Structure 1
């Protein structure tokens, strides 16, 4: 009888090689997902000083410097000066074509990072907020 009761004893959990591979894949997916998500998230800031000091990618909101039209540099990058609410100005380098209605922009959001070696904000993408045609209609109806 002693032999029969030991057969019904609790079996220890055996970690098979297939289980270890599955656990390793899950851990790898979690780690890669975490780093992918943190690099994709770009904080939103309206301060040039904060964009400079952050050292990572940000969405920098600001305004076109009055009288600024922008120009293309020797590398065919569109460059212009943008200022924040405090009046601090930063040079922005945008490697794409100048957005439509750029001169009429009431605000600009440059998405990228500050390059301290070149002292410019390297924009990978840009959002330009222009006056709305609906705002003009609203102003006319109020007058």
Structure 2
């Protein structure tokens, strides 16, 4: 075989392997607190447990709140950033991080806020589209 062909094949195989490795690490499934305790990093969808409150510690600069996962299990979540402005209005939260003991340490938090179009009259949209 020609050396250029061998180098080309090795480069393609190496690039494909690197791509698959990086893509595989970026895929994360949604789980519950129980499932997160068995994993390294996890995405947990749920809702804020308003009954247990939330607080921001000025000393540690961490936002601490309780969240209920899809199974209804409530756990303490520690978020290393200030409370997001629309935290109370969020319909659903997704925390990304890892479980240590009974506490979930989130690196990131995503929020699904209520849509302003949920309660809108559908005729408004058809009128706007026509004229």
- Bucket of the pairwise TM-score, normalised by the shorter protein: 0.7 to 0.9
Asked whether the equivalents of residues 43 and 57 of structure 1 are also in contact (C-alpha less than 8 Å), the reply is: no
Corresponding residue for residue 78 of structure 2: 93
Q: Is the 8 Å Cα contact of residues 69 and 103 (structure 1) preserved in structure 2?
A: no
Work out whether residues 68 and 75 of structure 2, in 8 Å CA contact, stay in contact via their aligned partners in 1. yes
Does 1:42 pair with 2:28? Answer: yes
What is the CA-CA distance between 1:94 and the residue it aligns to?
Answer: 1.8
Deviations 1:50-85 (A, max 9, x none): 1222x1333211111123123236431222111123
TM-score, structure 2 as length reference = 0.73
TM-score (norm 1): 0.68
The equivalent of 2:18 in structure 1 is: 32
Gaps of 5+ in 1: 1-13, 139-143
Structure 1 CA distance, aligned partners of 2:98 and 2:57? 19
The Cα RMSD (Å) is: 2.3
Task: Report how many residues are paired.
Answer: 120
**Aligned residue in 2 for 1:64:** 48
Distance 2:57 2:118 in 1: 32
Which is greater in Rg? 1
1:92 is displaced (CA, Å) by 1.7
Structure 1 stretches of 4+ moved >4 Å: none
Q: Distance in 1 between matches of 2:70 and 2:118?
A: 23
- What's 2:92 paired with? 107
| C-alpha contact 1:57 1:111 (8 A) present in aligned 2 | yes
